[in-house]
Chains A and B, each alone.
Chain A
Amino acid sequence: MTYFIDRRLNPKGKSLANRQRFLRRARQQIRDAVQKSLKDSAVADIGKERKIKVSTQGTREPRFRLDPKAAGERDFVLPGNKEFLPGDEIKKPQGGSGGSGKQASDTGEGEDDFEFVMNEDEVLDIFFEDLELPNLVRTTLKETQNKQWKRAGITTSGSPSQINLVRTMRNAQGRRLALRRPSLREVEAMEADLAALEREPQTEEMRAKISALKEKLAYAIARRKWVGFIDPVDVRFNSYTEQPVPTSQAVMFCLMDVSGSMGEREKDLAKRFYMLLHLFLRRRYKKVDIVFIRHTHDAQEVDEQEFFYSRQSGGTIVSTALDKMLEIQRERYTTSDWNIYAAQASDGYTQSGDARRCVEMLNEDVMPLCQYYAYIEILDEREMEVFASEDSGAELWRAYRTVAAEWSNFATKRISKPADIFPVFRELFKKAEA
């Protein structure tokens, strides 16, 4: 009559379909919340599982509810009376404190924002709805430099170390059955019978029996020889082929001017830009290294804290940063193993004459190595208006425009406030129109 059923082994994620529907439904709110939560995290922490606080707007489930605070009268019963007598009056609590005095929220359900955990993929999906990394197709040459052995089925020839025992034994058994190879046990049984018969008194009848059995035994032994236990036709080998694998690691060079002209605001904008780039790379590559290079009139590799928060005085020579980047790349990040991305942020000023040197370096040394090079110029809003046209700008901007014309994987953009970043970013990495 009673059944115990163990359901624990049932497939998991039964409510996954509901979750997807919920995420889809609350997309707008979730997107806002995700962006807000990204603001305070470190560049590399961006794609981690995170708690998201979502407003219930858009996922409200309104029902008709009564509102006894607005009008009318009611009675209610509570437990735990200590001192009240009939006729006593209790002041209604004002404002939010106290059990029933809670203000009706404008959702009407007293339903507050609620928090839930989104895993990495879900966070990132929100970001990358319709974006795609640029130039993902590496040149054929670069791509085939890394190879990996992959399984490629079963073959009939190979080296002994690659024998697939299971297949081999299975084939052998099938063949033995098909060709009726007498088993060892059968042979031994016959030999035992024979021995037993030979011990009996030797009558005529016995002798006939013995010779028949001997004949049978000889046949069985011979047959065991013809039909081998394992025959070369049974043997199978695992086969492997060499396959090219795309490089699965990337390095991201963050270059930034930290001279006096770059203030907190500029650095904050730059940081957000790096974060987003890092996110993209994380989506695509198994391992992403970040190298922070700051420069004034000379360049240094520093850690993230120093990169964003320390100041340095000095002039501005952009090419030193490019030098530093090339030096680090040669030392640690060979192009055969690494995809190289670079993002440079600057306010657009450099020592006069340096811009030309930058262009040379970019064209000759840097761009051939890079998958992608993004240059963002951070302006204040007044400047933004002045340089409304793409062609006008400071020296560095004009110089970089010539590089951009030559290399499709070189991008330049100008931004002036946080709201500019995401649109710019979308534009930089928009799906190749296929």
Chain B
Amino acid sequence: MTGLLFTEAEWDFATLDRTYKAIEEIALNDLKLDVYPNQVEIISSEQMLDAYSSLGMPLMYHHWSFGKLFAREDTMYRAGYSALAYEIVINSSPCISYLLEENTMTMQALVMAHAAFGHNHFFKNNYLFRQWTNAEGILDYLAFAKHYISACEERYGRDEVELVLDAAHALMDQGVFRYRRPPKPSRERVLEKRRRRAAYEEEAYNDLWRTLPAGIEPPAAPPTLVDEDEFDGEIKLPEENLLYFIEKNSPTLRGWQREILRIVRNMAQYFYPQRQTKVMNEGCATFVHHTIMNILYDRGLISEGSLLEFLHSHTSVVFQPEFDDRRFGGLNPYALGFAMMSDIRRIAEAPTAEDRDWFPDFAGSGDWVGALKDAWANYRDESFIEQFLSPKLIRDFRLFSLYDKADEGAYRVSAIHDEQGYRKVRSLLARQYDPGIADPNIQVVDADLKGDRTLFLEHKMYRGIPLQHATKDQVVAHIERLWGHDVVLEEVAD
């Protein structure tokens, strides 16, 4: 036998383990990655669809929209329109990666390198994830959320709960803190909350014992975790987090409804870093798997056949159709991310004169691992592109920017991949990845709490772009349902 880790396409747990160890060795020693402990789970295709439809989380409360997603994905999958993802990875500690059972051994190796080390490192080190998500607590929180919401359904009826969830989901994009953290509750409040949550858990635990013949009681009511009287008449305006504002200040919501809003808001906040780092996150993971697979081959641990299989799947993942291609659906984050990561390595190792001009900090330093790890830790898509997109890549992708004014009949080409255009293309592309600009900027500006309780919202139009009419009214209707009184949404020029 040679030193190959595996020779067959079929995998088994012993092979997985052996391969994982080899990958780990490279990831920790060669790439110096810093990861959460890994938990690798093998799942079937049906379970993969299940995971899709619950936002990729292993636990999720029940809602019809997840069922809709499942029905859609299932049909697409069965009809052969879409293939399943090879993996799903969860930002938690331990970091859970799902591997599809149908993958060949080569694919399992790729996926472990990609998810269990690439994504994992990014989750653990990127500043957004560090600041905003709690990898240790997320699974427990989801378990709590699921339990709490089903207890509410039992107690208040599915329809009631659905109304709140529908409305809260409609506001998910406006349910995050973009710039500041939520105000810290005082220490007594924290203790009080902890006490109540503990009491709740105790009650939920008692539920188990209901099967005993003695002391059969009806299901316990979900206790109110949010104070009914939390509203203290003091509001801080303007407020960009609509869900937070309504949760705290709605004159009509009951305690359990506020808690549901809080759950949805926490989910939104948990996913917000992922929305801001799509290119980097995928770029990091793709770069990591590409590097590791190549090192495995160089060290004689995988065969040429495996290398080719890996390259085949890798190239289709990072394929970027051009804008006039039928397959074009925007910039592929895998393609852009991987290209930028590889480019950083190139610049560190073998820079051109142009690179030295543009990236004096690390061009030719040779320390590509350090440069990449710094980028992964301290940037998000927008700032990353603004900082690291090189003229060479702009040329490779042949990027160009268009200026679009709604009442004109034509787009104008404002910059292309030339000396005058590099900086402009780069900043415009960076801005495209700023959710602060891509999402409408809607704030609570006033609430007439003493009078008729009308809630005043304001959409600050960025460069004059208004809200879509149809959805605007539907979402406002949802807000009115939560607020309980009239809601006025005004669009103003920025």
Query: Do A65 and B412 have beta carbons less than 8 Å apart?
Result: no
Select B406's contact among A23, A65, A71, beta carbons within 8 Å. A71
Q: Mark B378-420, 1 if CB is under 8 A from A, else 0.
A: 0000000000000000000111111111110111111111101
A87-B71 contact in complex given A73-B404, A75-B404, A77-B399, C-beta closer than 8 Å: no
**Interface window among A56-64, A212-220, A271-279:** A56-64
Residue of B whose beta carbon sits closest to that of A99: B328
Stretch of A39-47, A106-114, A173-181, A247-255 lying at the B interface: A106-114
Rounded to whole angstroms, the CA-CA distance of A68 and B40 in the bound complex is 43
Which of A4, A19, A78, A86 neighbours the largest number of chain B CB atoms within 10 Å of its CB?
A: A78
CB distance from A126 to the nearest CB of B (A): 14
Given that A8-B43, A64-B174, A66-B468 are contacting pairs, would A92 and B409 also be in contact in the complex, using a CB cutoff of 8 Å?
A: yes
Find chain A residues with CB under 8 A from B71 CB. 19, 22, 114, 116-117
A61 CB to closest chain B CB (Å) equals 6
The CA-CA distance from A216 to B397 in the complex, in Å, is 96
In this assembly, does A72 line the interface, its C-beta being within 8 Å of a C-beta of chain B? yes
Contact with A along B246-277 (1 / 0, CB 8 A): 00000000000000000000000000000000
Smallest CB separation, B461 vs chain A (Å): 7
With the chains together, A257 CA to B344 CA distance in Å? 82
Q: Which of A64, A99, A117 contacts B442 (CB 8 A)?
A: A64
Q: Which of B71, B170, B413, B464 has the most CB of A within 10 A?
A: B71
B219 adjacent to chain A (CB < 8 Å): no
Q: Which residues of B contact A185 (CB under 8 A)?
A: none
Q: Is A51 an interface residue (CB 8 A)?
A: yes
Q: Which of A1-33 contact B (CB under 8 A)?
A: 1-8, 10, 12, 14-15, 17-26
CB pair B412 A7 closer than 8 Å: no
In the complex where A3-B39, A61-B169 touch, is A72 in contact with B465 (Cβ < 8 A)? yes
Contacts of A71 in B (CB 8 A): 406-407, 464-466
How many Å lie between the Cα of A6 and that of B475 in the bound state? 42
Query: Complex formed: what's the CA distance from A49 to B466 in Å?
Result: 44
B224 within 8 A of A: no
State which of B321, B413, B440, B471 has its C-beta within 8 Å of the C-beta of A109.
B471
Residue of A nearest to B404 (CB): A74
Say which one of B45-53, B127-135, B292-300 lies at the interface with A. Answer: B45-53
Considering the chains assembled together, what is the distance between the CA atoms of A76 and B404 in angstroms? 8
| A91 interfacial contact with B, CB 8 Å | yes
Determine whether B478 belongs to the interface, using a CB cutoff of 8 Å to chain A.
yes
Cβ-defined contact, A19 with B465, below 8 A? no
- Chain B residue nearest in CB terms to A74: B404
Interface assignment of B187: CB less than 8 Å from any CB of chain A: no
**Cβ-based interface call for A84 (8 A):** yes
Please state if A75 and B478 are interface contacts (CB–CB under 8 Å). Answer: no
**Separation in Å of the B431 CB from the closest CB of chain A?**
8
Question: Which residues of chain A come closer than 8 Å to B78, judged between CB atoms?
Answer: 117
Q: Which residues of B contact A391 (CB under 8 A)?
A: none
Given the complex, which residues of B lie within 8 Å of A59, measured CB to CB?
64-65, 68
- Nearest-CB residue, chain B, relative to A64: B440
Interface residues on B, range: 35 or more
A130 lies within 8 A of chain B by Cβ: no
Which residues from chain A contact B46 at a C-beta distance below 8 Å?
A: 12
Chain A residues with CB under 8 Å of B75's CB are 51, 114-117
Q: A67, B466: Cβ atoms under 8 Å?
A: yes
Complex CA gap A73/B397 in Å reads 25
A interface, how many residues as a size bin? 35 or more
Q: Is A88 in the interface zone, CB < 8 Å from B?
A: yes
| Residue from B39, B54, B409, B461 in contact with A15 in the complex, judged by beta carbons closer than 8 Å | B54
**Which residues of chain B (294-349) have a CB below 8 Å from chain A?**
320-325, 328, 331
Residues of chain B contacted by A2 (CB below 8 angstroms)? 17, 20, 24, 37-40
A17 to B153, CA, bound (A): 13
Q: Smallest Cβ distance from A364 to chain B, in angstroms?
A: 53
Q: Which residue of A lies closest to B16 (CB)?
A: A4
Tell me if B398 and A79 are in contact (CB < 8 A): yes
A137 at the interface (CB under 8 A from B): no
**A69 at the A/B interface (Cβ < 8 Å)?**
yes
Chain B residue with minimal CB distance to A19? B67
Would you call B322 and A80 a contact (CB within 8 A)? Answer: yes
Given the known inter-chain contacts A74-B465, A81-B399, A99-B328, please indicate yes or no for A15 contacting B53, CB distance below 8 A. yes
Give A65 to B441 CA distance when docked, in angstroms: 10
The answer to the question of A386 belonging to the interface, with a C-beta cut-off of 8 Å to chain B, is no
With a cutoff of 8 Å between Cβ atoms, the chain B residues found around residue A114 in the complex are 71-72, 75
Contact A18 B475 (CB under 8 A): no
**A2 CB to nearest chain B CB (Å):** 5
- A62 CB to nearest chain B CB (Å): 4
Complex contacts, A68 vs chain B, CB 8 Å = 404, 406, 465
Shortest Cβ gap from B466 to chain A (Å):
5
Known: A60-B474, A78-B399. A73 touches B406 (CB 8 A): yes
Question: In the complex the two chains form, is B398's CB within 8 Å of A76's CB?
Answer: no
Identify which of B233-241, B364-372, B421-429 touches chain A.
B421-429
User: Are the C-beta atoms of A66 and B466 separated by less than 8 Å?
Assistant: yes
The reply to whether the CB of B180 lies closer than 8 angstroms to some CB of chain A is: no
Judge whether A90 is part of the interface by a CB distance below 8 angstroms.
yes
Chain A residues with CB below 8 A from B415, complex form: 86
Shortest Cβ distance from residue B75 to the other chain A in the assembled complex, whole angstroms: 4
Cβ-defined contact, B400 with A84, below 8 A: yes
Q: Which residue of B72, B169, B404, B462 contacts A116 across the interface (Cβ within 8 Å)?
A: B72
Of A6, A20, A115, which is within 8 A of B67 by CB? A20
Q: Is A104's beta carbon under 8 Å from chain B?
A: yes
**Docked pose: A19 CA to B73 CA in angstroms:** 12
Give every chain A residue within 8 A of B428 (Cβ-Cβ).
75-77
Whether A4 pairs with B42 at a CB distance below 8 angstroms is yes
| Interface residue B158 (Cβ < 8 Å from any Cβ of A) | yes
B10 CB-CB contact with A under 8 Å: no
Is the pair B158, A21 in contact by a Cβ cutoff of 8 Å?
yes
B227 at the interface (CB under 8 A from A): no
Residues of B with C-beta under 8 A to A106:
470
Given contacts A7-B42, A64-B440, A75-B404, contact A89 B64 (CB under 8 A): no
Given contacts A18-B53, A107-B470, 15 further A-B contacts (CB under 8 A): A5-B41, A8-B101, A22-B67, A22-B71, A24-B64, A26-B64, A63-B173, A64-B467, A70-B406, A71-B464, A74-B403, A74-B404, A80-B324, A92-B411, A108-B468
Residues in A lying within 8 Å of B, measured CB to CB: 1-8, 10, 12, 14-15, 17-26, 51, 59-82, 84-92, 99, 104, 106-109, 114-117
Task: Across the A-B interface, give the 9 residue pairs with the lowest CB-CB distance, nearest first.
Answer: A80-B322, A22-B67, A72-B464, A108-B470, A72-B465, A18-B67, A62-B474, A108-B471, A116-B71
Residue pairs across A and B with Cβ atoms less than 8 A apart, 18 shown, are A2-B37, A3-B94, A4-B40, A7-B42, A12-B47, A19-B67, A61-B166, A62-B470, A67-B466, A67-B467, A70-B406, A71-B406, A72-B461, A73-B465, A78-B399, A84-B416, A86-B418, A91-B409
